[in-house]
Chains A and B, each alone.
Chain A
């Protein structure tokens, strides 16, 4: 049973560019959340998608946007990249109230 799959695993972008990260949830999961984890810190909640709509959002600017598709997969888009956007981006999925299953993350480096 495949867990949460994220792509790509690593990415290097230049300041000002745009990036799209992808996530396939665990089979049977319908809710997807995205997190940003800076080095040495805990994951920070970006937003949550359910039924193709953004349901909850953390304290992130509008440069961060997302999408959920009918097959429950999701994308995270970040525009006008800043050096401070360098982090591990984690996708997590769940069905119901049981704890999230996390993917291994995408390591984004902005230079």
Chain B
């Protein structure tokens, strides 16, 4: 069994400020980790993924995430946000063997001018 907890349902932040969206997971098997972004009335777009190797992963649009195995976390960060980053962000894990995926409930990032 696996689960994903996104610790903040809403994160308001001012433009050009840094942001961190937190994600913890639990799993009895080995998993891959992902962050997706969803804009209104659209599907999900892959931001970044951790499969193996370096625990610091860089993605699109200036986002990065750090995999912490001991804390079972995969927090998403951006040093300076833009108005256009306003969206819903989802953390997800996928079982490396079976391919079954589990998503968190999402974090709404609102960037204010």
Which of B49, B92, B100, B101 gathers most chain A CB within 10 Å? B101
- Specify which of B34, B36, B42, B102 is in contact with A45 (CB 8 Å cutoff): B102
Question: Are A58 and B36 also in contact (CB < 8 A) when A90-B43, A100-B46 are?
Answer: no
Q: How large is the interface on B (under 10, 10 to 19, 20 to 34, 35 or more residues)?
A: 20 to 34
> What does DSSP make chain B's interface, helix, strand, loop or mixed?
strand
- Residues of chain B contacted by A31 (CB below 8 angstroms): 99
> Which of A68-76, A79-87, A101-109 forms contacts with chain B?
A101-109
- Specify which of B44, B45, B98 is in contact with A56 (CB 8 Å cutoff): B98
| Bound-complex Cα distance A100 to B100 (A) | 12
Question: Are A33 and B46 also in contact (CB < 8 A) when A42-B90, A97-B32, A102-B36 are?
Answer: no
**A residues within 8 Å of B by Cβ?**
4, 31, 33, 35, 40-45, 48, 55-56, 58, 90, 92, 97-105
**B residues within 8 Å of A by Cβ?**
4, 32, 34, 36, 41-46, 49, 51, 90, 92, 94, 96, 98-106
